[in-house]
Structure 1
Amino acid sequence: MTAQTVSEPKAYATAVDSPARFRNLLTAEWIKLWSLRSTYWVLGVGALAVIGINVNSARTNAQRLAHQPELPPAPPPGFPAKPEMLFDPLAAAFVDPAWQLLMVIAGSVGALAVFGEYTTGLIRITFAAVPARHAVMTAKAIVMVAVTLVLGTVVAGTSFGVTQAILQDHHGMSLGDPGALRAVAASALLAPLCALVGMALGALVRHAAGTVVAVVGVLLMVPALFTGETYRWVKEIGNAMPLCAWRALVRNPARDYAAEKYPVPVGEAWGVFGGWALVAAVVMVAVVRRRDV
């Protein structure tokens, strides 16, 4: 009797890993996410806020440029290579405060998907029905990544398209211009990356206020602490954070950043994105499998 009781969860866990069972898990996680009205409001209002900040930046720059001599879009031969003297239309679509807001929104929604079940006790029911915890968390992560990837793509594409249309008389860019497609892709991927980080922190902290504070601290505060260029090791720590990697990927390659110490190469920035996503997913699954509910 005991042997049969012990073997049943193992057999069920194996069954859950089958494609049909896993599709059911995906459906369940999708229903959990969209059954909360806060999901609609947070993602919808957040997307509008991010796009609005970027559009307002473009409008402000367009009005300013309309009343002053035209600035060159890139340094011509013999022009002093000082980025602050040049107008960068790409920067108007990727304003730091806007995308920091998106990072917090995506990270918080990801965290809520995990700690919300712990605070309500729903996680016990979930794991009782599906003993294969790794399958549950994998399905939860896939649904969250899919939703936030759509969010990031819509926000990045809309921000770029609208801002460049506003700046069309001031060297507005198209996706075919150098660096434009990379910037849009990096900004679209920033949302699912931060959602995964939020899920990992939610699994570790398991408390609403503590998790949100951890999300803001890891995604925004830590990079702010490692921005100095006096010591290379300080800057390198900052360069390994998602925010700094994103800033490197949305830069306009037409501008000269030679004066900056210890810049983040494009390849390294993509590596930071991939590394953080992988570590966050592994931490989330490992913590949930080993810790009691």
Structure 2
Amino acid sequence: MQPRFADAVAFEWIKMRSIRSTWWTLAAAACISIGIGMIGGREALPQDTTAFVMEKILVGLSLGQMAICVFGVLTATSEYGTGSIRSTFTAVPDRLRLLAAKALVVFTVSLVAGTAIVFATFAAGTLTLGSGVPVPSLSEDAVLRALVGGGCYLALLGVFSLALGLVLRASAGGITAAVSITFILPTVFHMLGDALLKWWPTQAGRQILQVSPSSTDLAPVPGLCYFAVTTVVALVVAMVLTNRRDA
């Protein structure tokens, strides 16, 4: 009897929560984002706008997101490294069902953890603001959108990194590719003033964190939607390749 999709989801969740790297990478994302956010809050000045204060508080997410990349990649590659992927495919022969379940678990864990990290970073950062510095409020639609959207962005990033891991099937290569795509290349494009930056998927997705959107980038919600479409395409490609390859 073929395992149901719910069985595959339960199977993936049990594996994920039993791997220590899952909790270490998520803890690293939290510590980096919150720690740098507190420093950014302390550096905010009374003459800063609310949007600039938010940017300083959430600056740590630029580095914290790399831990989410590691989490997504390792979810795919750890089984290839140990050879347990063969047992996984034996337990759930329908690879597409298995990979869909894996993606759902990664998305859910990244969404819950990412949203918690973003809100914790915001709370910690606002506590460190000096006297006279404008305090961003959750009652402001743009602030709440940035925080909720930030959790969604990290969830999509986890799945995007999972897709890279499935394609490359090697932890070192997958992590290098994910970090390069998410952090290094956008930084290079920004330094060069390259117009490609506007349409770079992760850069477009990160616009959801901006309280005051940039005129040179995609708008926050369309940018996140664009990244979501890119993530789905990457996942479909990864699933097709995995289904055709030998374990």
> What TM-score, normalized to structure 2?
0.89
The one-character-per-residue Cα deviations of 1:53-90 (angstroms, maximum 9, x if unpaired) are 101110233xxx4xxxx42637xxxxxxxxxxxx8221
User: What is the aligned counterpart of 1:280 among 234, 237, 240?
Assistant: 234
Whether 1:40 and 2:4 are equivalent positions in the alignment is no
Percent of paired sites with the same residue: 29
Q: CA deviation at 1:140?
A: 0.8
Q: Say how many residue pairs are matched.
A: 246
Aligned to 1:114: 76
Aligned to 1:248: 207
Whether 1:154 and 2:130 are equivalent positions in the alignment is no
- Over 3 Å counting, the alpha-carbon distance change for 1:227 and 1:171 in structure 2 is same
Q: CA deviation at 1:47?
A: 0.8
Q: CA deviation at 1:164?
A: 2.4
User: What is the aligned counterpart of 2:158 among 195, 212, 218?
Assistant: 195
Unpaired segments ≥5 residues, structure 2: none
Q: Quick check: 1:148–1:195 contact (8 Å CA) kept in 2?
A: yes
Aligned to 1:88: 52
3-state SS of paired residue (2:160): helix
Q: Which amino acid aligns with 1:195?
A: G
Provide the alpha-carbon RMSD of the alignment. 2.3
Separation (CA, whole Å) in 2 of partners of 1:112 and 1:279: 20
Q: Quick check: 2:81–2:170 contact (8 Å CA) kept in 1?
A: yes
Separation (CA, whole Å) in 2 of partners of 1:283 and 1:130: 20
Separation (CA, whole Å) in 2 of partners of 1:126 and 1:263: 42
Q: Quick check: 2:25–2:70 contact (8 Å CA) kept in 1?
A: no
The one-character-per-residue Cα deviations of 1:192-249 (angstroms, maximum 9, x if unpaired) are 111112111111111121111111112122222323676xxx41x2122244224432
Separation (CA, whole Å) in 1 of partners of 2:57 and 2:191: 26
Separation (CA, whole Å) in 2 of partners of 1:31 and 1:246: 30
The one-character-per-residue Cα deviations of 1:16-36 (angstroms, maximum 9, x if unpaired) are 3xxxx2222111111111111
Structure with the greater alpha carbon radius of gyration:
1
Q: Which amino acid aligns with 1:291?
A: R
Unpaired segments ≥5 residues, structure 1: 1-11, 75-86
Aligned to 2:88: 126
- Over 3 Å counting, the alpha-carbon distance change for 1:72 and 1:199 in structure 2 is closer
Q: Quick check: 2:142–2:211 contact (8 Å CA) kept in 1?
A: yes
> What TM-score, normalized to structure 1?
0.76
- Over 3 Å counting, the alpha-carbon distance change for 1:272 and 1:170 in structure 2 is same
Structure with the higher fraction of residues in helix conformation:
2
Q: Quick check: 1:46–1:102 contact (8 Å CA) kept in 2?
A: yes
Deviates more, 1:238-247 or 1:194-203: 238-247
3-state SS of paired residue (2:47): coil
